[in-house]
Amino acid sequence: MFAMLDNIEHGERRKTISNVYAKSYIMTPPVEQLIQEKTRDLMKRIGRQLESDLFLEYHFLGCDIITRHVYGPSGETFSLAGKEDHMHILDDIIGQPKSDWIWSSIHFPAVLNPPSPLLSLSGARADGPAHGMGNLTRLV
């Protein structure tokens, strides 16, 4: 993230960063070849399985494409190839019940962090972060 007062300078800086995410860049032959290569890996992987969890498989596909695209060959993951430690990278965001909890914490923060009459009198606020008690202290 960056901020600049001059709109022209801001636009020029933004161009240097945003071009790799633009459709015109994604459709260049090297990136298109990467997507095709990883999609072939996905099809081979699914072809070897009797049953497939496509939700998980598409996450592996996305992870493998993005890590190669962003970090290059030295930083890419091989989830589709079945590399065990790479397959667990996504556990925190798609594993149950964590993915439900993440979704719920975004859409229903008050349910996960309701105001409680058992808060300390330390001046802590009941509208703390949705991901837990934050700076609240329970008296129980």
What is the tens place of the pLDDT at every residue in 91-137?
766 766 655 666 667 777 776 665 655 544 444 444 444 444 444 44
pLDDT for res 62: 92
Write down the pLDDT at residue 44. 95
Q: Which of 3-7, 78-82, 120-124 has the lowest mean pLDDT?
A: 120-124
pLDDT value of residue 7: 80
Residue 57: predicted pLDDT = 92
Best CA proximity match to 69, nearest among 16, 30, 15: 30
pTM: 0.56
Higher pLDDT, 74 or 103: 74
Cite the beta strand spans of 1-140 per DSSP E.
none
pLDDT for res 138: 41
- Beta-bridge mates of residue 138: 119
Q: What is the pLDDT of residues 10-45, one digit of tens each?
A: 777 777 767 767 788 878 899 899 999 999 999 999
